Chains A and B, each alone.
Chain A
Amino acid sequence: MKTRKPSSFTASRLALSRVTRAAALGIAIAGASLAGNAQAAEVEVPANIKWTVPFGVGGGTDVWARFFSPWLSDYISGEPTIMIDNVPGGGSINGANLFAMRAKADGSNWLGTSASTQYPAMLDDRRVRYDYSEWTPILATPTGGVVYGQPSLGDTADAAIDALLSQPVKLAAQNPTGLELPVLIALDLLGADVQAVFGMRSRGEGRLAFERGEADIDFQTSSAYLSNVTPLVESGKAVPLFSLGLLDDDGKIVRDPAFPDLPTFNEVYQARHGEAPSGPAYEAFRKFFASGFALQKLIMVPRDTPQELVDAYRDAAREFVATDEFKQDAEAQLGPYTPVIGDVIQRHLEDAMSIDEATREWLAKWLEEKHNARI
C-alpha cells in the first residue's frame, strides 16, 4: 500500500527559490497566453510564502506548522514555496508584534498563532501590539483537554470528584495566565479548592510532578493525554475526571470525539449543581476555552489580503483535509479532530476574544485573590 506523501521539502525549495520563481513566472506567462481570459478568475498566488511562527524550532506550534506546510504547498495552485520563519520570544508576543508591524498583505505573509498568542491579547498585556481584528483566519485546529487525578482521591471519577470538592488539592501549572487558565476557572466553578503551583516550563513538567505524586490532579491536552496519561490510567495510576469538551459549529460545548465516554466539564457541573454554569466566571471559562482550545492554533493573514487569495488558501485546505492520506497522518499530529476552515473561525474568534468589562473585572479580581497574580 503506497500512500501519497507531500513531496515538497521546504528547505530544499528554499535554496532553489530563485529558480522556482523564474520557472513559476515562465509557467504563468505560458499559461496566461494559452488559456487567455478563461483563467481570469484564477488569482496569482505568491511564489514564496513566509510563514512566521512566533515560537522556537521543535515546539508544539512549530511542529504543527511543519506538518501543515507540505500539504498546503502541494494543494495551493502554483505550489508556492512555504518557508517557516521562527521568531521566538515573549511567549510568542514578539513574533506576533513583528508580524503585525511588518507583514505584507499580498498573501505572502502568514502567521501561526497559539493559545499563548491569543491569551495576552485578551488580557490586555501591555506588550501586545497586535490586534486579531487586523487579521483574517485561514485555518484553525482544535484540541481538547482532560483533567485527571491521583487514584488516592478515588477509584472512580465520581468518587474522585467528591474528594476533590472536599479537600484542597494541588495542580502544577505554568503561570497564572497560561494554558491552564480555563482549567483553573472550571475547577473553581465546580467548587474545588485548587492550589496551583506555578513555574512549570511546559505541560510535560506538570505531568511529571503528577507522576511523582507531588500534584494531586493534572491536566493535559488531547495528544499528550493519549500518549502519556492513557498508560497511567490503564495501570491504575490515574483517574480521568472530565474533559473540557469541544466547540461545535454553533458555538456549543459538546463531548470531545477523542474521549466520547468522558463527561465534559459542563455535564459534571450540571450534575453537581443541578443547573448549567453561568455568570462572569463561566463567561471567562468559555472564552478562554474557545480561544485556547477550540481554536488553539490558527493560520492568519493580514486583513487586507485579497479575498481571492484567502479563498484560494481556504479551498486548498478544504481539499486536502478531506483526503484519506491527510486524515491518516493527522491522527498522529492533531488527534481525532478536523481542522476548522473559513468564516466560522472568524465568528467564534470574534466572540471569544471580546471580553466585556464585567468578565474582565471578575477575572482580575479572581486572579489576584486566588493566585496572587495581577493583570
Chain B
Amino acid sequence: MLDILLSSLGQLFTLSHLLFMTLGVLVGLVVGIIPGLGGIAGMSLLLPFLYGMEPTVALGMLMGLVAVIPTGDTFASVLLGIPGSSASQATVIDGFSLAKKGQAARALSSAFLASMIGGLIGAVVLTGFILIARPLVLSFSSSELFMLTLLGLSMVAVLSGADLFKGLAACGLGLLVGGIGMAPATGEFRLNLDIDYLFDGLPLVVVGLGIFALPEIIDLLVKRGAIAEKPCRLGEGWRRGIQDVGEQRGLVARCAAIGSLVGTIPGLAGSVVDWLTYGHAVQSAKDSSEFGKGDIRGVIAPESANNACACGAMVPTLLFGVPGSGTAAVFLGGLLLLGLQPGVGMIETHLDLTYTIIWSLALANILGAALCLILARPVANLTRVPFATLAPLITVLIMFAAFQATRATGDLLALGAIGVLGVLFKQANWSRPAFLIGFVLAPGAEAYFYQAVQFQGTDAFLRPGVLIIGAMILAAMFIPVIGKQIKKRRQPMSVGAAATEPKPDAESHRLGIIDIVLLGALLALAASAWVNVSELSLIGGIMPRLAIAIMALACLAEIVRSVVRRPRWERQTFAREAIWLVGFFALVAAMLTLGFITTATLFTLVFLLAIAKLKPWVTVLMALGVLAFLLAMAEFLTLTYPQGILDPLLFY
C-alpha cells in the first residue's frame, strides 16, 4: 500500500508529468475564464492529443484541466456577474454584489484561496475515502437521491427570507421550465409547444446567463458608471480577502467536506452542492441580512465546495464509470481513449494511477489558485472601467457562451426570453436563485422520485438515509424561523443595529406594478400550462402539474397576503430596461440574418463610438479584438456561429 502511495507520488513530480499538468492548468484557466466553455470545451481541446500518450502523463494533463475549471470561472462570476459554469452560480450572487461595492479584489482573493483549500481538503478526503467509497456510494439509492434534491429545493425557503411566497412562485416557475422536454419516466415530450429546440429542454448555461447576467448588464447600462459603485482600493481588498478566509476557516472546512462527499454521489454533484453550501452559510451566520447584498461568506462557501466537489466527482467516475458531472463525463471519455476502463480495476490493478489522478488534482488546484490569486488584483481593475466600455464585450461574450450550449438559434432567443424574466425579477426583487434552483433540480427530483417509487414502493420513504435527510430538510426550513423569533426577543438589546438599518420584515413587504404584472402573468401561465399538460399520462404529467400548483398557490398566497396586510406601494420601473431589451433582441435578429461575427464586430464598433463615446482608434482596436477572439475560438475549438448572409462571404 505504502509503496503504491510513494510510487504515485514519485510519478507526480517527474518533469514530464509536471509539464503536462501545467499545460492542462493553463488550458483550464483560459477555458474556465471564458464563460460558457467550461470543462467540456477544454477537454475537447486536449482529447485529440490523448490517444497514444503515456497514461500517467496524459492523466496529469487532464487533471490539471479538471481541477482549475471551477477556479477560473470565478473571474466572470465575480467581476461581470456571469455564471461561467454550473459550479459558479451561487458565487455570482454575493461575488458580484461585492464587486459592485468596490470589493472585487477581496471577493476574488478569498474565492481563490477558498478554492485552493477546498481542493486540497477534497484530495485528502479522497485519498482515504476512495478505498472504502464503493459500499457508501451504493448505499445512496434513488430515494436518498430524491431527498437530496428536496434538500436542495428547501434552500429556496432559506434564500427567499421574508418574501417566501414570491420565492416559492419563482421556484415553481423554475420547476416548470426545468420540466420542458422529455419526461424521464415515460419518454413523453411535454411543454415543448412543438418547437424542435424545446424537445431537449432549455440548457442550463442559457438559463443561468439569462437570469443572472443579462439583467445585470441592463441594470448597469441604465445606471451608467462603472461596475464598482464605490471607490475601490484593490491592494487592501486583496489582503482583506485572504484574512476573510482565515476568519471563516470553519466554514471553509465544512463546505469542503460537504462538497467532496456530495460530489461522490453520482448524478447530483455540482448542481446541488453550490446551493447546499450557500444555504448552509446563510443558516449558520449570526447575521444573515447581508447575504445577497455582498457577504463574503456567500463567496467563500460555494467556492470552497466546488473544487472539493470536482475531487469527489472522481469517485463515481473512476469506480463505477458513471460520471458525477459534465466535466467528469468528458474525463471519462479521456480515460477510455487512454485504454483505461473505469471500474473496480481502478482500485485493484491501477491504484497507482488512481492516486496519481487524485494528487494531480491537489497539485493542480494549488497551481491554478496561485495563478488566479496573482491575476486577481490586476483583473479586478475591470470593475473600475466605465461600464459602457465593457458592455458590448460582455454582451458578445454571453451571446457567444449561450450559443455554444447547443449551437441552435433557439439558444439566443431563449437567452433573451429568460433575460426578460430576469429583468422583471430583478426590478421587482423576486428571488432569481429560487428560480434557478427549481430549474436545476427539476429533472433530478422527478426522475429520482419516480425511480424510488418504482423500485422500492412505499418502503422508499422509511429508509434510514431518507429519514436523516428529511430531518435535515425540516431543520433547514424551521431553524431560521425559530432563530428569528429568538432574535426578535433580543431586539431591545441591539439598538445600534436596528437604528442604522430598517428592519427587514416590517418594511420588506412591498408591492409594485411589476409584482402585479408578474403575479398575473404567472397565474395565466399556470392556466395555459395546465391545459398544455392535460394530455400527458399520469406519471409523465405529475411533475409539471406539481410545479404549476406550487407556482399558482404561491401567487395566490402572495395576493391574499397583499390584500390582508396592505403592503407599502413601491415604484418599480421597467421602461428604460425595456428599451435595452428591445435593443438586445434587435441584436439577436441582426446576428441571425447578417451573421454572428459580422454583427458582433459592428455592434462593438458602433456601441463604443456612439454610446461609450470612446476615441475612434480605441474603438477600432477593441472591435478588432472581438473579431480576433471569435475567429480564434472558431479555429482552435472548432466552434460555429450563426452564419447569416455576410459571415460566409467574409470569414469562411
Contact = CB atoms under 8 A, between A and B. Distances in A.
Interface of A: 5-7, 9-12, 14-15, 56-59, 62-63, 66-67, 70, 83-90, 94, 127, 170, 172, 175-177, 195, 197-199, 201-202, 204-205, 207-209, 211-212, 214-215, 223-224, 226-228, 231, 329, 332-333, 371-374
14 contacts: A63-B337, A66-B47, A70-B52, A89-B200, A170-B454, A172-B455, A176-B187, A202-B322, A205-B266, A205-B322, A207-B320, A214-B456, A215-B455, A372-B539
Residue with the highest number of chain B CB atoms closer than 10 Å, among A63, A329, A374? A63
Contact of A197 (B45, B139, B451): B451
Question: Which 5 pairs between the two chains have the least Cβ-Cβ distance?
Answer: A58-B333, A199-B184, A58-B330, A227-B341, A11-B48
Given A11-B49, A228-B343, A94 B406 contact: yes
B345 A214 contact: no
Interface string B180-202: 00101111100000001001100
Given A14-B638, A204-B320, A205-B266, A373 B337 contact: no
A57 B406 contact: no
A108 to B, nearest CB: 14
Contacts of A89: 200, 406-408
B142 interface: yes
B652 interface: no
A373 B320 contact: no
B53 to A, nearest CB: 9
Contacts of A176: 186-187
Interface residues of B, number: 59
A43 to B, nearest CB: 25
Nearest to A332: B339
B458 interface: no
A15 B636 contact: yes
Contacts of B456: 214
Nearest to A229: B343
Interface in B32-69: 40, 43-45, 47-52
A208 B16 CA distance: 36
Chain B interface SS verdict (over half): helix
A28 B254 CA distance: 65
A198 B337 contact: no
A15 B635 contact: yes
Contacts of B52: 5-7, 70
A212 B187 contact: no
Contact of B142 (A62, A66, A94, A214): A214
B344 interface: yes
B467 to A, nearest CB: 18
B155 interface: no
Contacts of A56: 40, 329-330
Nearest to A91: B200
B96 interface: no
Given A212-B141, A228-B320, A58 B455 contact: no
A171 to B, nearest CB: 11
A347 B468 CA distance: 58
Contacts of B50: 66
B494 interface: no
B336 A212 contact: no
B178 interface: no
Interface in B433-467: 446-447, 450-451, 454-456
Given A87-B407, A227-B321, A373-B188, A66 B330 contact: no
Contacts of B185: 198-199
Given A208-B320, A231-B343, A373-B187, A58 B331 contact: yes
A91 to B, nearest CB: 8
A90 B198 CA distance: 9
A199 B451 contact: yes
Contacts of A226: 341
A212 B143 CA distance: 12
Contacts of A195: 454
Interface string B312-339: 0000000011110000011111101101
Contacts of B138: 208, 211-212
Given A56-B329, A57-B47, A214 B339 contact: no
Given A89-B200, A199-B447, A208-B266, 5 more contacts: A172-B451, A204-B321, A214-B455, A215-B455, A373-B188
Nearest to A201: B267
A350 B376 CA distance: 60
Contacts of B140: 212
Given A15-B635, A374-B188, A58 B341 contact: no
Contacts of B184: 175, 198-199
Interface in B1-58: 40, 43-45, 47-52
A163 to B, nearest CB: 18
Contacts of B635: 14-15
Contacts of B199: 90, 127
B161 interface: no
Given A9-B48, A67-B51, A198-B185, A58 B339 contact: no
Contacts of A12: 48-49
Interface in B329-367: 329-334, 336-337, 339, 341-345
B187 A58 contact: no
Nearest to A198: B185
Interface in B155-187: 182, 184-187
Contact of A170 (B408, B447, B455): B455
Nearest to B448: A199
B322 A57 contact: no
B500 interface: no
